[in-house]
Amino acid sequence: MRRSHSRASWALTLTLVAATARAQDVGSILEVLEEEVVTGASRSAERAGDAPATSVTITAEELRRYGIRDMEEALNFLSLGMFAHRRQSTAEVGARGMAVSRDANGHVLVVLDGMVVNEQGGGAVYLHDVPMELVDHIEVILGPGSVLYGAQAMLGVINVVTKRPKDHEGLHATGSFGASPTMDGGGSADLGRWTGHDNRYSLSLGRTFELLGLRGGLVAGLDYSDFDGPNFHYDKQEMAGVDLGPHAAPGYWGGQVRDQWYARTLGGYTRLELGDLTWTTRATTTRLGMPQQDLFESRAPSAYDDTRNTNDYQLLLSDVRYEKRLSARVSGLARTYFGYSARENSRFVIGHEARLPGVPLGVIDPEQCPAGPTGPCRKDAYFYSRWLGVELQSTFDWLGDGAYTTLVGVDARTRTAAYEFVTFDELTGSSYGSDPGLTRWHAGGYAQADEHAVGAYLQQTLRPTSFLAFNAGLRADVDSRIGAEYTDEALSPRAALIVNPLDSLSVKLIYSKAFRAPSFLEQNIVNGRLLPNANGLEPETVSSYELATTVRFSRNSLTTGCFYADWRNLIELRVVDAQAPAVSRFENVSDVRNYGAFLNFDGAVMEGRLRFGLNTMLTSAERVLRDEQQERNERFGTGDTVPMTVAPRVLGNARASYALFGDHAVSLTGGYLGTRTADQAYVAGDPTNLSPVPTAPPQLELQGALTGTVPKFTEARYSLGARYAFSSSEPFVVGPNQGLPRYLNGTEEQAELAKVNRLTVFAGLEFHLDASDRKTESTAASASGGATR
């Protein structure tokens, strides 16, 4: 009897242990819950493992937990393979070890809730246009993506998805305040003086409702960011005979910077959903000052550290879409979209350039401030674009079960782009004129063009079995910017073979190609320093081959891969005459070989309390010089390739966060960019006379944050943190010494690099009022132990 009791108790114990072990071992569920669902790669929701591209998703929760406040930080601290240099006021994005300096991010496509954010004149996109407080998640998709998005998706696509009304119910107010200390001449932080600030404010609401028997939702918000860089110092560079105003010594550029490092953006966002109809609008206005004197300012010797030098940007995007399933096998989408952008760069010039003998006032290059009788002048450059488009898309599910689907679409847009250079007498306000007939050198100074573009695309997905999938697509674009002889270069194919030998293992082999049509500015901009290109410009193209493997186990995932990308016909400014003033021309200057390997690891232990991640990429990007370039630089021992500037060969980030008591969390994240050759070390591939070769040292940025709910006030959250950069330099040459091709000018110049804001300490508060969804969430979280990510 006793023995049978013993057996029974053993059996019971074993059963309990087994049951407990099974109950605890929810890894198989977590494998699915932790796998990202992406929409950007094939424009439909699918598991990241099934998507025909390598991507990472940055969630709103991660942004909050790591104290991330803007897109630059999100890319540098949390993304795989994509990075952003701040360039003191406007971020420049690169990816996979490749970056094209001064392209205003024209090689990456940013999509906000389905709207392309890149403006349609120069293709520029600014990361400050993303409404960070409304972000639900950001998909960073690496590699060419023109197959579904058309031009510009060369480095990748940043697909920003904002919160749904039901996830943002209530009224929300946030305020985040940052402070930065003054930097000394060496770029070190002086903790005794805090002269910089970086503040963000937002007010938003979310509502769900029923109207006419239809479900509806509204998300609307206002956001304002106010950055004022700390005081710092640039070394002096000689500018003989030029007066740069009261903040500079006569005849010199450089000295203390107090006023001209700032960026302020005011933005508004609305999304109204009613049934199958969605109307989204985003508008921003930005004013920023960049304390460096770069190529543009070198042509216009603007007053040093003067708030009258401004850069203004306005952007308006609006999109109305109607999405409907027409039958069990056919669904459709129709949308119309509108965009407007304006950029105005204004420079205040005190020391005029010498008036040319025999040239009457008013018959000038529109960039020139002549030595007039009245005083200082203002040199303005205006860039405008507006566009209107329609996109129709349909999906055919041949068997009705999602296994064989065809996506077809057509996207047509008309756009108007314009630029103008105007010079004003500062005292009288009268213009010196920009009439092309009166300009001195090459005509130009103004142009406007109405353009049209149509793209048709097709994507076929085949999933014959659970372990094999094939995704192939092709897009053809006809664009008035692309000459008839180059239309085949605007064909963008993609093919991806995806093998899932196990549920938790996927292997992808991807080929993709993308293009970028010459922008309106590259084709049309002409002034005293910019010559037209009589031969026309070819589109840029990039072809990419990629192999990636992902293994998932419980909350963890490991992705490794490698890629090779072949860039052709990169369009850049080439200096064609180094005699003062130097004259440049946009040309298809070179090809680039770009390859590398990457690793991404995401993991969590202790039931998700401790989370960690690592992204790293080792790359090479080499510009292949053309024969004539090799010949003219042969005497400098240049060889047949030179490194791409600005982009690091090694980049990555690592992060860890730990959930403390309640929902408080502490986190640390670090972003690393290896040694970078400065932008002006090479001009369009030609080595310059800057000596020594300007190079930015490796950059390690660390950010720590403490976040959570304010004790005894559950509707409020706080964040405290600091970001510190170990290096003070960015790979951008500042000041008048911008360098000239060495084969044209052998006089050596010494370069100075743009500064990095070394330290920012920040504190933030969020209030969520009438947040019925949050109450539900908190109920759920408490019931669930807050274990969901």
Partner 1 sequence: MTRRLLTWVLVGGFVLGTHLRAEAESPTAPVAVQAQIATRILTFERSFKNVSGDVVVVIAERKSDPDSSSAARQMERALGEIGNVGGKRLAVTVVSYANAAQFADECRKRRAVVAYLTPGLGAEIRDLASKLEGTGVLSIAAVESYVAAGAVLGVEVVSGKPRMSINLRQAKLQRIDFPSAVLKLARVYQ
Instruction: State both tokens at 789.
Output: 């990510």
The residue type of 168 is H
Q: Considering beta carbons, is residue 209 or 713 the nearer one to partner 1?
A: 209
CB atoms within 10 A of CB 14: 10
**Residue 277 near partner 1 by CB under 8 A:** yes
Q: Considering beta carbons, is residue 28 or 428 the nearer one to partner 1?
A: 28
- We find the least distance from the C-beta atom of residue 400 to partner 1, in angstroms, to be 4
**Residue 270 near partner 1 by CB under 8 A:** no
**Residue 113 near partner 1 by CB under 8 A:** no
**Residue 780 near partner 1 by CB under 8 A:** yes
Q: Considering beta carbons, is residue 468 or 597 the nearer one to partner 1?
A: 468
**Residue 399 near partner 1 by CB under 8 A:** yes
List phi, psi (to 5°) of 300: -120, 100
Question: Comparing C-alpha atoms, which of 152, 160, 159, 163 is closest to residue 53?
Answer: 159
Q: Considering beta carbons, is residue 214 or 610 the nearer one to partner 1?
A: 214
**Residue 530 near partner 1 by CB under 8 A:** no
Tell me which stretch binds partner 1 (CB under 8 A): 16-24, 359-367, 664-672, 682-690: 16-24
Region for residue 654 given its phi and psi (left: phi exceeds 0; alpha: psi -120 to 50; beta: otherwise): beta
Rounded CA gap, 700 and 651, in Å?
10
List phi, psi (to 5°) of 383: -135, 125
**Residue 750 near partner 1 by CB under 8 A:** no
- We find the least distance from the C-beta atom of residue 586 to partner 1, in angstroms, to be 39
Tell me which stretch binds partner 1 (CB under 8 A): 179-187, 226-234, 371-379, 777-785: 777-785
- The contacts of residue 221 (CB under 8 Å, 6+ apart) are 131, 133, 134, 172, 202, 203, 204, 205, 268, 269, 270
3-state secondary structure of 75: helix
CB atoms within 10 A of CB 536: 13
Tell me which stretch binds partner 1 (CB under 8 A): 195-203, 306-314, 317-325, 529-537: 317-325
Name residue, tokens 């979209």. Answer: 337
Q: Considering beta carbons, is residue 28 or 448 the nearer one to partner 1?
A: 28
Rounded CA gap, 216 and 780, in Å?
24
**Residue 580 near partner 1 by CB under 8 A:** no
Q: Considering beta carbons, is residue 274 or 761 the nearer one to partner 1?
A: 274
**Residue 276 near partner 1 by CB under 8 A:** yes
List phi, psi (to 5°) of 302: -75, 155
The residue type of 589 is V
Pick the binder of partner 1 from 184, 426, 577, 777 (CB under 8 A): 777
As a residue count, the chain comes to 789
**Residue 354 near partner 1 by CB under 8 A:** no
Tell me which stretch binds partner 1 (CB under 8 A): 35-43, 426-434, 695-703, 730-738: 35-43
Rounded CA gap, 395 and 195, in Å?
55
- The contacts of residue 590 (CB under 8 Å, 6+ apart) are 570, 572, 623, 624, 625, 626, 629, 684, 685
**Residue 32 near partner 1 by CB under 8 A:** yes
CB atoms within 10 A of CB 134: 26
Pick the binder of partner 1 from 34, 129, 540, 679 (CB under 8 A): 34
Tell me which stretch binds partner 1 (CB under 8 A): 37-45, 598-606, 687-695, 732-740: 37-45
Rounded CA gap, 504 and 536, in Å?
50
CB atoms within 10 A of CB 258: 17
Q: Considering beta carbons, is residue 329 or 664 the nearer one to partner 1?
A: 329
Q: Considering beta carbons, is residue 465 or 579 the nearer one to partner 1?
A: 465
Instruction: State both tokens at 239.
Output: 């500018």
- We find the least distance from the C-beta atom of residue 218 to partner 1, in angstroms, to be 16
- We find the least distance from the C-beta atom of residue 633 to partner 1, in angstroms, to be 47
Pick the binder of partner 1 from 362, 374, 401, 710 (CB under 8 A): 401
Binding-site string for partner 1 from residue 597 to residue 636, where x marks contact by CB under 8 A and - marks none: ----------x-----------------------------
Pick the binder of partner 1 from 192, 213, 429, 437 (CB under 8 A): 213
Question: Comparing C-alpha atoms, which of 710, 464, 538, 655 is closest to residue 78?
Answer: 655
**Residue 587 near partner 1 by CB under 8 A:** no
DSSP character for 527? B
Question: Comparing C-alpha atoms, which of 550, 545, 546, 587 is closest to residue 570?
Answer: 587
CB atoms within 10 A of CB 748: 13
Instruction: State both tokens at 784.
Output: 């669930």
**Residue 210 near partner 1 by CB under 8 A:** no
**Residue 240 near partner 1 by CB under 8 A:** no
Rounded CA gap, 748 and 761, in Å?
40
Rounded CA gap, 609 and 186, in Å?
41
- We find the least distance from the C-beta atom of residue 414 to partner 1, in angstroms, to be 23
- We find the least distance from the C-beta atom of residue 782 to partner 1, in angstroms, to be 9
- The contacts of residue 85 (CB under 8 Å, 6+ apart) are 91, 92, 94, 99, 646, 730, 731, 732
Pick the binder of partner 1 from 54, 57, 225, 638 (CB under 8 A): 57
Instruction: State both tokens at 453.
Output: 């573009």
Tell me which stretch binds partner 1 (CB under 8 A): 320-328, 437-445, 557-565, 580-588: 320-328
3-state secondary structure of 382: strand
**Residue 772 near partner 1 by CB under 8 A:** no
**Residue 402 near partner 1 by CB under 8 A:** yes
**Residue 576 near partner 1 by CB under 8 A:** no
Pick the binder of partner 1 from 246, 250, 375, 400 (CB under 8 A): 400
Q: Considering beta carbons, is residue 442 or 789 the nearer one to partner 1?
A: 789
Across-strand partners of 762?
Answer: 178, 721
- We find the least distance from the C-beta atom of residue 161 to partner 1, in angstroms, to be 7
Q: Considering beta carbons, is residue 39 or 620 the nearer one to partner 1?
A: 39
**Residue 60 near partner 1 by CB under 8 A:** yes
Instruction: State both tokens at 757.
Output: 């804001």
- Helix H or strand E encompassing 136: strand 135-142
Which parts of 130-169 interact with partner 1 (CB under 8 A)? 136-137, 139, 161, 167
**Residue 16 near partner 1 by CB under 8 A:** no
**Residue 334 near partner 1 by CB under 8 A:** no
Pick the binder of partner 1 from 503, 631, 640, 748 (CB under 8 A): 503
Work out the burial of residue 383: count CB atoms within 10 Å of its CB; fewer than 13 is exposed, 13-18 middle, 19 or more buried: buried
Rounded CA gap, 241 and 702, in Å?
44
**Residue 433 near partner 1 by CB under 8 A:** no
∠ CA 586-589-595 to the nearest 5 degrees?
A: 130
Binding-site string for partner 1 from residue 441 to residue 470, where x marks contact by CB under 8 A and - marks none: ------------------------xx----
**Residue 33 near partner 1 by CB under 8 A:** yes
**Residue 761 near partner 1 by CB under 8 A:** no
Pick the binder of partner 1 from 274, 388, 720, 765 (CB under 8 A): 274
**Residue 326 near partner 1 by CB under 8 A:** yes
Give me the sign of the Cα torsion angle 113, 269, 199, 183. Answer: positive
Q: Considering beta carbons, is residue 60 or 242 the nearer one to partner 1?
A: 60
Across-strand partners of 552?
Answer: 557
**Residue 411 near partner 1 by CB under 8 A:** no
CA distances to 34, 131, 134, 294, 658 from 781, in Å: 17, 27, 21, 52, 17
List phi, psi (to 5°) of 350: -100, -50
The footprint of partner 1 (CB under 8 A) covers 22-26, 28-38, 45-47, 50, 57, 59-61, 136-137, 139, 161, 167, 212-215, 274-277, 322, 324-329, 331, 397, 399-403, 465-466, 503, 607, 776-777, 779-780, 783-785, 787-789
